[in-house]
Amino acid sequence: MKKDTTVLVGISGGVDSATAACMLVSEGYRVIGLNIRVLDSPESNPTLQPSPLIVSNREEFRIPVYTLNLSKRFRENVIHYFQEEYLAARTPNPCIVCNKKIKWAGLLEAANMLQADFVATGHYASTSFSDGRFHLHKGADTKKDQSYFLWMLQQEELSKTILPLGPLTKPEVRELARVYGVPAAEKKESQEICFVPGDDYCHYLEQAIPDLADRVQGGELVDASGTVIGHHRGYPFYTIGQRRGLGAATGEPIYVTSIDPVHNRIHTGKKTNLLSRELTARAMNWIGIEPPTEPFEATARIRYRDTPTPCRVTPLEDGSATISFRSPKSAITAGQAAVIYRSDEVLGGGFITKTTH
């Protein structure tokens, strides 16, 4: 019976998570909220504390909300990872790591403390169960689908997860929020990384690593033939495919094609030089299928807003995989995730390490 089932919902203060909580209340679940704090003073021993957050102005949707301060863990697992990836000339996606190591880990930890049966979030994705496995699917709203960010989740986590917003579009969620009396119903969305003010990662890195700018400034900017065409502010401040801010007058558009952190060198070329047909991804996590041993056909995304492209996936013995696309992809970037789909289902994913033109 749903009334005997307790669901712990991650409450961020936004419209999506609050609406997800209200939906579960309306379905008859016993619902508790959890607001995970990640930018407070770090606590070495996180404990649950009552939170003043209000999910709804309507009495029937008022639920108890707790806070869990995971700022120390966030700093160690997300912020440190973010900095180290840029120092290694890779472009990280901290939200993917945060979902795995902070949000779901924190929710499941708190669920154990509060004796909750399931956890839930306001992500636009859905789950199913068949053939003895839990499966992860895209959200119905193609503009909001967040399945790409959840590829690191495993069977144990998915078995405890409810994703109420999967079948809904964002406009439908906002309309439900108004009906439920959610204070955040009209709140605008933020696309920024929560710990990077103004979404300016270059300024953030300069502030977070005090001597970085002085250490890396003045490196060589070279063209496709290796000729020095200028100097740059430092390799961590550039990403693959970047065109603006290169500081070289070449008479035609040039793009960052590769980054050499050892020699602090930025390689540039034409837009066509960004095209690649193959990538290798490490630390593959397989969700919808058992770890494969033979090549298979699928589609894959190389970044969040990418369109899934037909490809052939070849598993490697070290837990990596080679993904070969039928048509070239532009600006495949080390550090980003390659996420593999079959129709609307996430089969798995891994972190991009290298490309082959």
Query: Among all residues, which ones are annotated catalytic?
Result: 98, 194
Furthest C-alpha separation in the chain = 70
- C-alpha distance from residue 128 to each of 120, 136, 163, 334, 349 (Å): 14, 7, 10, 31, 18
Tell me the β-bridge partners of 125.
Answer: 138
CA distance 343 to 130: 16
The structure tokens listed for 192 are 């920024």
Q: What angle do CA 44, 109, 157 make, to 5 degrees?
A: 135
Angle at 195 between CA 192 and CA 196, to 5 degrees: 60
How many Å apart are CA 258 and CA 222, to the nearest integer? 10
Long-range contacts of 267-272 (CB under 8 A, 24+ apart): 267/222, 267/224, 268/221, 268/222, 268/223, 268/224, 268/229, 269/223, 269/224, 270/224, 271/330
